[in-house]
């Protein structure tokens, strides 16, 4: 069993400035980690900067920062600043993100994603030590950058990975992988690829959870979440690789422009595999199953209905004591 138990921050439905009591309560509830995300809400670093002060016992991580949306030097400075604010307690997760976030929302070409992440990891490995970086990578060049505020402890670097190529990159050149949108059984396929390069490689899994909610409501929330994510090309390819043929009708309807049909085509069984829901005790058992399958750090991502108080959700999903 892991000694880590994480949660995604910040919390939905509460202004960020009002979340301090929730952050402060996490360690006493048994949470060890707080991991941020970055899509169209808060950025990845600001909530963790607040957490470094509000909850100084937590380990902090980004899951993930897109490799495309910050220049290499800016990304290195952001990571170094947070590593200095939380010495020994920060892990930097980077990844491709998706064509939607990179191209449609940020107007940046989503080209050569594997090479972009690989080059970013290689640059960060060197830059975060304070060495002067002058290098031509395949996807960008850096001409004489030296980090001016070098952290005392180098943060581990983790790579968001889905299929084999990126999973191997995470194991070979980074300190581990961040995985997403998979069942506990899928972990048995994914984790060994990362650990081909060392049994100590960390596997962080973001696990979507809806506690203490009736099955019909939870599945409706899950159905919308699955349709929003798993029709994105990178996630579709991931689930095709995993062999999740049950999603074929959803993909077909989506391609045909039939959004309602795509929603209706998602089987309940797939929702139940990919999203933890039910009574709190059952949810905890489901999260522990990810650990038993090979996850080092489970990071819960609550997607509960607005009727549930975020504080109640946090308490419900806290580890057994």
For 248, residues 6+ apart whose C-beta sits below 8 A from its C-beta are none
Q: Which pTM was predicted?
A: 0.96
Contacts with 155 (C-beta within 8 Å, 6 or more apart), sequence order: 79, 82, 83, 90, 91, 92, 128
Over residues 84-94, the mean pLDDT reads 97
- Summarised one tens digit per residue, pLDDT across range 261-299 is 999 999 999 999 999 999 999 999 999 999 999 999 999
Give the residue among 295, 292, 290 at the shortest CA–CA distance from 273.
290
| Residue whose C-alpha is closest to residue 295's, from 230, 178, 200, 204 | 204
**Which CATH code is given to the segment(s) 6-211+280-317?**
3.20.20.30
What is the tens place of the pLDDT at every residue in 102-111? 999 999 999 9
> CA-to-CA distance for 278 and 226, rounded, in angstroms?
18
Task: Fill in the DSSP letter of residue 100.
Answer: I
More confident residue, 98 or 172: 172
For 228-265, the pLDDT digits (tens) are: 999 999 999 999 999 999 999 999 999 999 999 999 99
Q: Which helix (H) or strand (E) holds 276?
A: strand 275-278
Whole-angstrom distance, CA of residue 95 vs CA of residue 120:
9
pLDDT computed for residue 320 by the predictor: 80
- What percent of the chain lies above the pLDDT cut of 70? 99
pLDDT at 321: 66
Structure tokens that stand for 188 in this block: 């048995």
Nearest 5°: CA angle at 7, between 171 and 126?
Answer: 35
Counting beta carbons within 10 angstroms of the beta carbon of residue 88, is it exposed (0 to 12), middle (13 to 18) or buried (19 or more)?
A: exposed
Q: 85: phi > 0 → left, psi -120 to 50 → alpha, else beta; which?
A: alpha
| pLDDT score, position 159 | 98
Q: Is there a cis peptide before residue 73, judged by omega within 30 degrees of 0? A: no
- Residue range(s) occupied by CATH 3.20.20.30 in the chain: 6-211+280-317
Judged against a pLDDT cut of 60, whether residue 1 lies above it is answered with no
From residue 308, give the alpha-carbon distance in Å to each of 87, 196, 218, 262, 312.
35, 41, 12, 28, 7
How does the average pLDDT of the chain come out, rounded? 97
Q: Is pLDDT of 124 > 90?
A: yes
Helices 248-255 and 215-229 pack at an angle, to 10 degrees, of: 60
| 34-87 pLDDT tens trace | 999 999 999 999 999 999 999 999 999 999 999 999 999 999 999 999 999 999
Average pLDDT over residues 130-158: 97
């Amino acid at each position: 069993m892991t000694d880590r138990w994480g949660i995604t921050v910040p919390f939905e439905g509460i202004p960020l400035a009002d979340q301090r009591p929730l952050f402060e309560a996490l360690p006493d509830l048994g949470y060890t980690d707080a991991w941020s995300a970055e899509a169209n809400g808060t950025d990845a670093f600001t909530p963790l900067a607040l957490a470094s002060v509000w909850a100084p016992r937590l380990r902090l991580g980004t899951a993930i920062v897109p490799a495309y949306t910050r220049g290499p030097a800016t990304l290195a400075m952001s990571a170094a600043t947070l590593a200095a604010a939380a010495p020994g307690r920060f892990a930097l997760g980077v990844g491709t993100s998706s064509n939607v976030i990179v191209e449609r929302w940020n107007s940046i070409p989503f080209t050569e994603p594997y090479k972009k992440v690989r080059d970013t990891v290689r640059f960060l490995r060197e830059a975060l030590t304070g060495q002067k970086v002058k290098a031509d990578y395949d996807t960008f060049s850096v001409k004489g950058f030296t980090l001016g505020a070098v952290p005392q402890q180098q943060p581990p670097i983790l790579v968001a990975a889905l299929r084999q190529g990126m999973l191997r990159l995470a194991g070979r050149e980074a300190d581990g992988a961040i995985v997403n949108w998979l069942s506990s059984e899928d972990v048995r396929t994914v984790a060994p690829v990362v650990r081909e390069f060392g049994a100590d490689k960390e596997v962080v899994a973001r696990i979507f959870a809806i506690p203490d909610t009736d099955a019909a409501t939870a599945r409706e929330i899950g159905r919308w979440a699955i349709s929003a994510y798993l029709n994105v090309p990178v996630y579709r390819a991931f689930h095709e690789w995993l062999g999740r043929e049950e999603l074929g009708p959803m993909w077909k309807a989506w391609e045909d422009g039939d959004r309602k049909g795509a929603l209706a085509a998602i089987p309940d069984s797939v929702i139940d595999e990919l999203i933890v829901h039910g009574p709190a005790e059952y949810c905890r058992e489901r999260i522990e199953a990810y650990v038993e399958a090979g996850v080092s750090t489970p990071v819960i991502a609550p997607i509960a209905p607005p009727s549930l108080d975020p504080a109640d959700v946090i308490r419900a999903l806290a580890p057994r004591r």
